[in-house]
Amino acid sequence: MQAKYPSDSMCIMTDLVLPGETNPLNNLFGGELLARMDRAASIAARRHSRRIVVTASVNHVAFNRSIPLGSVVTVEAKVSRTFKTSMEIFIDVWTEDRESGVRAKANEAIYTFVAVDETGRPVEIPTIEPQTELEKQRFEAALRRKQLSLVLAGKMSPNDATELKALFIE
């Protein structure tokens, strides 16, 4: 399988925040944002693998800034690293100022997707070659995040999480 670039998988979704999607403070409801991010990440994972993909885990979500009713929200998702059958998707969420159009980063998240066949069995996916400095940083850190996710899910012994442990040991 030929290697791909993160940009090959890029999915950009722009939409409004409507009244039915807000919390009592009139900001975007967290679950609605999670769903938008899951959709964009799923498209990115599918573009990379060209297979059926399923969400295996949500590794990190930071709701750093609330997003008010009426905002224009852009969710950008792309594959940051691939493993054998799984891939990490990095998602950046932006809002744009109504008058100036200037974009501000509102949130980010990291999801793991697995490519599967028609029976739900994991299948191999193409590798990825990061290009930009940011893509290289995200690629580099993704193995530690995978190990942390597997340890927390009880699917890996902490003793085997070599790269993750190295963060804490000089």
Measured at CB, which residue is nearest to ligand COA? 83
Q: Pick from 63, 80, 55: which is nearest to 141 by CA?
A: 80
Q: Which of 77, 65, 90 is nearest to 12 (CA)?
A: 77
Spatial separation of the C-alpha atoms in residues 30 and 21, rounded to whole Å: 9
Applying CB under 6 A, among 52, 116, 123, 141 the residue interacting with ligand COA is 116
- Minimum CB separation of residue 148 from ligand COA in Å reads 9
Binding mask 65-104 for ligand COA (x = CB under 6 A): ------------------xxxx------------------
Q: Taking CB under 6 A as the rule, does residue 122 contact ligand COA?
A: yes
By CB under 6 A, residue 45 contacts ligand COA: no
Alpha carbons 137 and 143: distance in angstroms, whole number: 11
In the list 101, 118, 120, 133, the residue contacting ligand COA (rule: CB under 6 A) is: 120
Closest by CA to 87, choosing from 48, 120, 135, is: 48
Q: Which is nearer to ligand COA, 41 or 93 (CB)?
A: 41
Residue 15 Cβ, how far from ligand COA at the closest point, in Å? 22
Task: Name the residue among 19, 18, 151, 6 with its Cα closest to residue 92.
Answer: 6
